[in-house]
Structure 1
Amino acid sequence: MASYGEVARRAGLPGRARLVGRVLGEPASAGLPWFRVVRSDGRIAFPAGSRAFREQVRQLAAEGVLVDKGRVDLAAFGWDRDLDRLLWAPPQPASASPSCGPRHGNSPRRTRKA
């Protein structure tokens, strides 16, 4: 989970939250996990009760994300909690089971040549 502004900041475009919203709304972005992006205060951006609102709540619930009164607790479910750890933590042993989702163990490791 992330806010539109957080996605923009991490993409190197601080202050461009509306651009992120526009991009996620484009048909070419259909394969992106748009439902994981919410307003900076955790609120779903669609009107309550709309088809898009219900679909976002449904998809978030399927991933175990609680939506309460149209809002997600970003402190509990946001990127700040897990993304940096997932990106920069040392690789886990193959037998370990990560607590926050699948690991992509088939990606090449970067090593420095001596």
Structure 2
Amino acid sequence: MEGSDKVEKFLGYEVMEIQGKDRVSGIAIEQRDAEETIALPVQGVYIEIGLIPNSEFARGVVAVNSAGEIEVDRHCQTNVPGIFAAGDVTSVPEKQIIVAAGEGAKAALGAYGYLLEQRG
């Protein structure tokens, strides 16, 4: 995309509105510091939420890597027995909703197995 005359970057802007009746026809973006709004004609919108894991709550409780991801094994268990984690907050490299959902199922099964072991 770098150097393409078909791509224009709007750094420091936030999407305020997606416009269109039956389909997307434009967006309104606002500059964060100046409150300047710009209307842009577009044919589609791709929404991406942040890539920084929201793992602050886990620091000091379980192992967190340098990227802020909670370290888990193949069963979604952390380094602390009985604590499981799943989704984009973990060290699993694929950050997609379908993977996160599957990891959630694995974590639930892992936790269930752990509880059964604890009961004896």
Structure with bigger strand share is 2
Tell me the TM-score range normalised by the shorter chain.
under 0.3
Larger RCO of the pair (alpha carbons < 8 Å, separation 6+): 1
The structure with the larger Rg is: 2
TM-score, structure 2 as length reference? 0.25
TM-score, structure 1 as length reference? 0.26
